[in-house]
Amino acid sequence: AQTVTQSQPEMSVQEAETVTLSCTYDTSENNYYLFWYKQPPSRQMILVIRQEAYKQQNATENRFSVNFQKAAKSFSLKISDSQLGDTAMYFCAFTGSGTYKYIFGTGTRLKVLA
């Protein structure tokens, strides 16, 4: 069975610093897709970044980047120059190439401190 594990329930970081959120997954598939979603206190689920497993290059979106290690089945999210607005719950998600279903991790609550 495919699983997604986020081992850090809570983290905090000082404003302007860099923080890395970890995510590991388990699958026997070779082609799949990984996502990070942000859920701020407003509860809206917002896509942060998407990675295709067959692409070796790590995805980046402005201050957000991932470290995708396919062999290790690891997909961590790095937030650079953290801002107060980055305070949120962050969910890692996985979907295989032949399914519509997402598998979500349990989330990491990130607090950015002023």
Partner 1 sequence: DAGVIQSPRHEVTEMGQEVTLRCKPISGHNSLFWYRQTMMRGLELLIYFNNNVPIDDSGMPEDRFSAKMPNASFSTLKIQPSEPRDSAVYFCASSLAGLAGSGETQYFGPGTRLLVL
Residue 97 in tokens: 């190439």
Among 41, 72, 98, 114, binds partner 1 (CB under 8 A): 98
Looking up tokens 């949120």 gives 88
Among 25, 90, 91, 110, binds partner 1 (CB under 8 A): 91
Q: How far are the Cα atoms of 68, 94, 114 from residue 85, in angstroms, in the given order?
A: 25, 25, 11
How many residues touch partner 1 under the rule CB under 8 A: the total is 24
Q: Does 57 bind partner 1 (CB under 8 A)?
A: no
Three-class DSSP category at 85: helix
Binding site for partner 1 (CB under 8 A): 32-33, 35, 37, 42-47, 50, 52, 91, 95-102, 104, 106-107
